A and B are shown apart, each in its own frame.
Chain A
């Protein structure tokens, strides 16, 4: 293999699995270390820089970071990254004076933001400090979008949501509530320099099977129903409820049903476990509340008697699953009736743009959604940008935030007549963390504790009101232990081949056998003859240049490295060093700075 090119920021970035997996590339190990030091406000601000809504996301993020976490490969469970974010948010001090300053003199550019959800809010967060005038249009009477309408209050308390929304609105956003935009053409005719569409994926999927419209009062579309509950328009439901679908919206629907008085709630899944769309932790939370998840039942028809819904018929499904876990064959082996009083359909969402005229020069694709550039977020109509679920279909809040950061850059470039595609690339800096002969500026000892479990309000207590937050958050001791479970993957093992004397000290001490000094070979062949076989192909091999004494190479399998630093401690020549990796992932303010990469510094370093 050729020596690994570590000058490309992607190489070390990938080693930080959590940060790589996070759409906004939040500096997870960085903020976890700040929490460990009790610097909650600093941790909050480091989060806010990337993900804008730390308190909200610390409760309801989809957590792409956690399945990626290296700790989950070293032992069973990943670090509770998301809940540590909440620790920072819950314990922070007043950070008002650390929020971006809004210039009194505006820059004369005016941007329309359609929808007041996470995407539009995050765009405003990036634009306002530059003197933009942001006009935000919201159809409902409250800002927040799906964070407010679709996420139940028992998971995300309204005051937490409001506080982080207000941080942005208080920058001077011109928020116009109860103002649905009904014509893109009309909006474009106004004097806006750019338009950002962050209207989400507002259309819940329907289930067109017999009986669907025979008792409409008792068949609900999940996201619309959740919205009605959030507004207080719906405050009860029948005793027996069937939820169709097994995604995260289904989990919110079943748990909300219980709080509206349902006694028997079943989630009906078409496929077996392992094929569910819902996150494991959301499934766990629902099952803790005694929701039954019924697998292998495909909806066939609504059963109506005397004009009233009495239940549903399902096809009983059987699947052939191959060794790779893929379904190879499907068949119906029978039929089963489930009685119920209400049905909630939670089988997905679609984008819908009935308010965008199709003849204004904006290209739509075969699914009738606008064609949007993945990088610039610009539609084919110059000056109109899309972000959040409106851009590429339903994803999640953290994706919407990243879309917003990228859209803000594009909007700025568009408003100033620059090429929206000409953007700063990612960069990085590496700095040694050596403090003394055997001392590092991070906690390198391995914490053996298992993942801490977030305490919950008791089952008896939590159903008393609709808005009792179920999760209590980590207490101080739990947080102190959980932060130490982080492996500090951003503290990189950096190797200088020319210094190596091939004494084997690093190879001998490595607790997870990830180092090997060996003759070079092809990647496939090398992977098989390392100290321990490198079977995780998603994780790179770090291969050095030729070593001076024997012309062999040092190979590191990044997969299971616990970043304990012992290789560097046992290295007599400093060939191995532990260096803190800082990612430079440009936001709008960085684009404006003439020496952006050099100016970049982490909080707390």
Chain B
């Protein structure tokens, strides 16, 4: 951590977004994470994504659980809503918040411990109910906050800082989510903002549960030679399968794409994600082939990245539950709580 806060001074040529705001107005407090932590780059990517989408900061809610990753929401969008929940229970809190006010942008930031160990049950069911939120997993393969024990995403054979080898098989959140029927699954790397930022933007605009698994190296406990989640290892085994370009509704697709390689996906608000295949074998719309592809490349020691699976047609939580279109938080009290007479007549229907 630093003793000084980031100087308020800015580059005079700093661009402004549609709201007339600069990127600096999307920042949060000073990070107290270790210098060089991948999470701080994810923070920056989130700041950039929200800035580029011109999201009004007060229309965003940031949620997290416990862990290094879960400190992240303190470091971006200081003017947004936030909730730092119990370890692994963020999906439930997010579900409640989303149920109450479906008009907000929800961003959950979690880690491999928070989502794949203690919070796996919560996480899996949030996928099933297709909760409309961006769910970022800052995945570093260790419990950094408790000094570097292996997490559930540590690969077999990878070593801890002092040389101890991991023997248990890792969980791949992307394979897991696809198999659970998730609607948006992506993987990226904190050291590759060119790929990460468009994925975060697409995830924010996706109507449903958008999981972005970000390899985010732990410089303190897992950036050594025996690590498979280090900066060096990730770069050496990086395998981008699908590039995703996010195109807002106001813009036409200007770039030239080779036919057959490009797949435009239209989102509910009219914006588009144009998927560009780095690997022609890969079909990001097919569950079985996506899982097969991920497994095959994982066996080959490659880290497959990009927008790995997307189905824009799956209904999100409010659609599944046929809830009202307007946010419940703005409903007048009489409609929200119609009184004991209404409750009685409802109960009578089940007698």
Q: CB within 8 Å of B: which residues of A?
A: 73-75, 438-439, 444-446, 448, 501-505, 508-509, 511-514, 532-533, 535, 549-550, 560, 562, 564, 566, 569-573
Report if B235 contacts A (CB, 8 A): yes
B219 CB contacts on chain A under 8 angstroms: 501, 503, 572
Report if B43 contacts A (CB, 8 A): yes
Whole-angstrom distance between the Cβ of A238 and the nearest chain B Cβ: 49
A438-B2, A570-B36, A573-B36 known; A501-B231 Cβ under 8 A: yes
Q: CB within 8 Å of A: which residues of B?
A: 1-4, 6-14, 24, 34-38, 40-41, 43-44, 190-191, 193, 217, 219, 223, 231-232, 235
- A438 near B36 with CB under 8 A, answer no
B43 CB contacts on chain A under 8 angstroms: 508
Q: Which 3 A-B pairs have the closest CB atoms?
A: A572-B36, A446-B7, A508-B44
Contact of A501 among B9, B11, B36, B193 (CB under 8 A): B36
Question: Can you report 29 residue pairs joining A to B where beta carbons are below 8 Å apart?
Answer: A74-B9, A438-B1, A448-B8, A502-B231, A503-B36, A503-B41, A503-B190, A503-B219, A504-B41, A505-B36, A505-B37, A505-B40, A508-B40, A509-B6, A509-B40, A511-B8, A511-B9, A511-B24, A513-B11, A513-B14, A532-B13, A532-B14, A549-B231, A549-B235, A562-B9, A564-B7, A569-B35, A572-B35, A572-B219
- B41 near A505 with CB under 8 A, answer yes
- A508 near B41 with CB under 8 A, answer yes
B8 CB contacts on chain A under 8 angstroms: 446, 448, 511
Contact of B191 among A502, A562, A573 (CB under 8 A): A502
Q: Closest chain B residue to A548 by CB distance?
A: B232
- Give the distance in Å from the alpha carbon of A549 to the alpha carbon of B36 in the complex: 15
- Give the distance in Å from the alpha carbon of A438 to the alpha carbon of B33 in the complex: 13
- B13 near A533 with CB under 8 A, answer yes
- Give the distance in Å from the alpha carbon of A74 to the alpha carbon of B14 in the complex: 12
- 20 extra A-B contacts, CB within 8 A, seeds A445-B4, A572-B223: A438-B1, A502-B231, A503-B36, A504-B41, A504-B44, A504-B191, A504-B193, A505-B35, A511-B6, A512-B7, A512-B10, A513-B10, A513-B11, A513-B14, A549-B231, A560-B11, A562-B7, A566-B2, A569-B2, A573-B36
Q: Closest chain A residue to B36 by CB distance?
A: A572
Contact of A570 among B2, B12, B190, B231 (CB under 8 A): B2
- Give the distance in Å from the alpha carbon of A550 to the alpha carbon of B3 in the complex: 32
A550 CB contacts on chain B under 8 angstroms: 235
A503-B231, A504-B41, A504-B44 known; A571-B2 Cβ under 8 A: no
Chain B, interface SS category:
loop
- Give the distance in Å from the alpha carbon of A454 to the alpha carbon of B72 in the complex: 45
- Give the distance in Å from the alpha carbon of A64 to the alpha carbon of B145 in the complex: 53
User: Among the interface residues A448, A502, A504, which one has the most CB atoms of the partner chain B within 10 A?
Assistant: A504
Whole-angstrom distance between the Cβ of B217 and the nearest chain A Cβ: 7
Whole-angstrom distance between the Cβ of A164 and the nearest chain B Cβ: 37
User: Among the interface residues B37, B38, B191, which one has the most CB atoms of the partner chain A within 10 A?
Assistant: B191
Q: Closest chain B residue to A513 by CB distance?
A: B11
A502-B231, A503-B219, A569-B2 known; A511-B44 Cβ under 8 A: no
B44 CB contacts on chain A under 8 angstroms: 504, 508
- Give the distance in Å from the alpha carbon of A535 to the alpha carbon of B3 in the complex: 32
- Give the distance in Å from the alpha carbon of A569 to the alpha carbon of B2 in the complex: 7
User: Among the interface residues B11, B37, B43, B232, which one has the most CB atoms of the partner chain A within 10 A?
Assistant: B11
A569 CB contacts on chain B under 8 angstroms: 2, 35
Whole-angstrom distance between the Cβ of B3 and the nearest chain A Cβ: 6
- Give the distance in Å from the alpha carbon of A513 to the alpha carbon of B27 in the complex: 14
**How many pairs, one residue from A and one from B, have CB atoms within 8 Å of each other in the complex?**
99
- Give the distance in Å from the alpha carbon of A48 to the alpha carbon of B24 in the complex: 43
- A566 near B6 with CB under 8 A, answer yes
B217 CB contacts on chain A under 8 angstroms: 503
Q: Closest chain B residue to A570 by CB distance?
A: B35
- Give the distance in Å from the alpha carbon of A82 to the alpha carbon of B320 in the complex: 71
A504 CB contacts on chain B under 8 angstroms: 41, 44, 190-191, 193
- Give the distance in Å from the alpha carbon of A503 to the alpha carbon of B231 in the complex: 7
- Give the distance in Å from the alpha carbon of A535 to the alpha carbon of B11 in the complex: 11
A438-B3, A508-B41, A572-B34 known; A535-B13 Cβ under 8 A: yes
Whole-angstrom distance between the Cβ of A288 and the nearest chain B Cβ: 29
A74 CB contacts on chain B under 8 angstroms: 9
B235 CB contacts on chain A under 8 angstroms: 502, 549-550
Q: Closest chain B residue to A511 by CB distance?
A: B7
B38 CB contacts on chain A under 8 angstroms: 503
B40 CB contacts on chain A under 8 angstroms: 505, 508-509, 570
A570 CB contacts on chain B under 8 angstroms: 2, 35-36, 40
Contact of B9 among A75, A509, A549, A572 (CB under 8 A): A75
- Give the distance in Å from the alpha carbon of A549 to the alpha carbon of B13 in the complex: 31
Contact of A448 among B9, B37, B190, B232 (CB under 8 A): B9
Contact of B4 among A444, A448, A508 (CB under 8 A): A444
Q: Closest chain B residue to A75 by CB distance?
A: B9
User: Among the interface residues A73, A508, A569, which one has the most CB atoms of the partner chain B within 10 A?
Assistant: A508
B41 CB contacts on chain A under 8 angstroms: 503-505, 508
Whole-angstrom distance between the Cβ of A371 and the nearest chain B Cβ: 45
- Give the distance in Å from the alpha carbon of A571 to the alpha carbon of B34 in the complex: 9
B223 CB contacts on chain A under 8 angstroms: 501, 572
- Give the distance in Å from the alpha carbon of A378 to the alpha carbon of B153 in the complex: 76
- Give the distance in Å from the alpha carbon of A509 to the alpha carbon of B235 in the complex: 22
A73 CB contacts on chain B under 8 angstroms: 12
- A511 near B191 with CB under 8 A, answer no
- Give the distance in Å from the alpha carbon of A237 to the alpha carbon of B68 in the complex: 78
- B7 near A503 with CB under 8 A, answer no
A571 CB contacts on chain B under 8 angstroms: 35-36
- Give the distance in Å from the alpha carbon of A213 to the alpha carbon of B8 in the complex: 61
- Give the distance in Å from the alpha carbon of A544 to the alpha carbon of B14 in the complex: 25
Whole-angstrom distance between the Cβ of A518 and the nearest chain B Cβ: 10
- Give the distance in Å from the alpha carbon of A509 to the alpha carbon of B1 in the complex: 12
- Give the distance in Å from the alpha carbon of A508 to the alpha carbon of B75 in the complex: 12
Whole-angstrom distance between the Cβ of B44 and the nearest chain A Cβ: 4
Whole-angstrom distance between the Cβ of B237 and the nearest chain A Cβ: 12
B35 CB contacts on chain A under 8 angstroms: 505, 569-572
Whole-angstrom distance between the Cβ of A114 and the nearest chain B Cβ: 50
- Give the distance in Å from the alpha carbon of A549 to the alpha carbon of B37 in the complex: 17
B37 CB contacts on chain A under 8 angstroms: 503, 505, 572
- Give the distance in Å from the alpha carbon of A573 to the alpha carbon of B223 in the complex: 11
